Amino acid sequence: MSYELFIGLRYLRAKRKQTFISVNTFISIAGIFLGVAALIIVLAVMNGFETELRNKILGINSHIVLMKYTGSMKNYEEVAGEIKNVKGVVASTPFIYGQAMLKNRDRVTGVVLRGISVKTALTVISFGKMKEGKIEYLSTETPEKSLPGSPGIAIGKELAQNLGLNLFDMVEIVLPMGIPTPMGIVPRIKKFRVVGIFDSGFYEYDSSLVFISLADAQKFLNMKGEVTGIGIKVNDVYRAKAIAGTIEKKLGFTYWARNWMEMNKNLFSALKLEKRVMFIILSLIVLVAAFSIITSLIMSVMEKTRDIAVLKSMGATARSIMKIFMIQGLIMGAIGTTLGCIAGITVALNLEKLTAFIENLFGFKVLPQDVYYLSNLPSRVNYGDVALIVIITVVICFLASIYPSWNASKLDPAEALRYE
């Protein structure tokens, strides 16, 4: 061990008469600790929120949506056959999209109506957790033999709760595009039986999406042999844009493909911007702690004036004196950073358990599902972010220790010892 390191470590422990310096050192380390821990936890939450949001969106939506400029698609089976040969495409399914109103007694709400092919839809999208019933019941008879035959519908759990619907209840779908009659335009109404209640974990979908079979949708919307478009699943979600471009080139001008990044561009751009802003704001905690390190080192230099003079008289160079106090500053930063990393990663990895404990203890919801997109607080530690935080913190601590160390190295031994 070099004498610079030995003295630097010794100066971290103040004498009995220098308790204030020791407390100031502790405050500096605590500041670095809090800054690093807060940065890791907040960035982990932002990463987890983005990942969870992407998984929810890509669960109930396809990676690529293929449609025609001219409207509905007639030869969708042939198009699906051509898409299948494109490199990167895993599966495809036709769908029908529309808007309607769902009515149960005196309760009415607007919904997004989707017609799906039960055979192929589950290879492209996921409904999350089926609370009751099965998606397969959309195209088959329900297991309740006593129920009269009627087209099936699958709805989200929030929608079921809002309309007071249970499994196998009857509900009416009302289309805004009515039927012309001698009495004027009459809304198109048809009764469906609730054969499935799903929980996607995404409030927006659970409260506004309904699914019926493709055949029922074609019949109800007068789209005989036609579909709105084709949903496509790819093997790499980050190559969806390139694969969509390949599909457009292969099929020609009348077809256009949109990938999930384009359809949710504003949302994910906002999340990235928020993550950067939070990083900058929370980095100010580390900067404040760096000023504490500067203060602590300046006070240490003032207190150790005689020691510095003695060391210089014994032959210590200005570089060695500077190194002693820089080591002191870096050790404070290293201790705070290490403790902050341990605490931050530990909390981030156990954040869901911690929030559940808080909810049970205080009886309130940390993340209300009717306000936010998700029902729980997700967390995902990105160790690349952790490494970046550590590097930036150490650099800040290093820069903070330069001025006090340089000031100590310029001390004149004769002036320091004149009145001793």
Instruction: Give the model's pLDDT for residue 292.
Output: 79
| Mean pLDDT rounded to a whole number for the chain | 81
CA–CA gap between residue 225 and residue 62 (Å, rounded) = 22
Nearest Cα residue to 33 out of 275, 270, 347:
347
What is the domain partition of the chain in residue ranges? Answer: 3-56+267-414, 71-253
CA angle at 321 for the pair 308 and 325, rounded to the nearest 5°: 100
Instruction: Give the model's pLDDT for residue 298.
Output: 77
Nearest Cα residue to 103 out of 157, 173, 56, 192:
173
Instruction: Give the model's pLDDT for residue 45.
Output: 86
Distance in angstroms between the alpha carbons of the first and the last residue of the chain:
31
| Mean pLDDT of all residues in 165-190 | 78
Nearest Cα residue to 206 out of 377, 378, 370:
370
Q: Are 175 and 218 in contact (CB under 8 A)?
A: no
Instruction: Give the model's pLDDT for residue 20.
Output: 47
**H or E element, residue 374:** none
Q: What percent of the chain has pLDDT over 70?
A: 84
CA–CA gap between residue 167 and residue 190 (Å, rounded) = 18
DSSP alpha helices (H): ranges in 138-264? 157-163, 203-206, 214-220, 240-251, 260-263
- Position 14 pLDDT exceeds 60: no
- Position 225 pLDDT exceeds 60: yes
**H or E element, residue 105:** none
Give the Å distances, CA to CA, from 275 to 48, 282, 369.
Answer: 11, 11, 22
DSSP symbols for 42-99:
HHHHHHHHHHHHHHHHHHHS-SEEEEETTBSBS-HHHHHHHHHTSTTEEEEEEEEEEE
Q: Are 221 and 98 in contact (CB under 8 A)?
A: yes
- Position 410 pLDDT exceeds 90: no
Give whichever of 8-22, 203-217, 301-315 has the largest mean pLDDT.
203-217
| Mean pLDDT of all residues in 122-136 | 86
| Mean pLDDT of all residues in 253-275 | 83
DSSP symbols for 291-348:
HHHHHHHHHHHHHTHHHHHHHHHTT--HHHHHHHHHHHHHHHHHHHHHHHHHHHHHHH
| 57-61, 278-282, 303-307: the lowest-pLDDT one | 303-307
Instruction: Give the model's pLDDT for residue 365.
Output: 64
CA–CA gap between residue 309 and residue 321 (Å, rounded) = 10
Give whichever of 145-149, 159-163, 413-417 has the largest mean pLDDT.
159-163
Residue 369 carries which DSSP code? T
Q: Are 347 and 37 in contact (CB under 8 A)?
A: yes
Instruction: Give the model's pLDDT for residue 364.
Output: 64
Q: What are the φ/ψ torsions at residue 237 (nearest 5 degrees)?
A: -65, -25
Q: Going by DSSP bridges, is the β-strand pair 107-116/129-133 parallel, antiparallel, or unpaired?
A: unpaired
CA–CA gap between residue 11 and residue 189 (Å, rounded) = 83
What's the whole-model pTM score? Answer: 0.70
Q: Could you report the per-residue pLDDT of 308-322, keeping only the tens digit for each?
A: 777 777 777 777 878
For 351, the token pair is 């954040």
pLDDT band per the 50, 70, 90 thresholds, residue 189: confident
Instruction: Give the model's pLDDT for residue 154.
Output: 93
Instruction: Give the model's pLDDT for residue 415.
Output: 63
Instruction: Give the model's pLDDT for residue 15.
Output: 53
DSSP symbols for 326-338:
HHHHHHHHHHHHH
Buried b (16+ CB within 10 A) or exposed e, 199-209: bbbbbebbbbb
Give the Å distances, CA to CA, from 310 to 175, 314, 326.
Answer: 92, 6, 19
Instruction: Give the model's pLDDT for residue 230.
Output: 92
Residue 105 C-alpha from the chain's centroid: 39
Per DSSP, the three-state class of 156 is strand
Q: How many CA atoms lie within 13 A of 16 on its CB side?
A: 0
CA–CA gap between residue 92 and residue 72 (Å, rounded) = 17
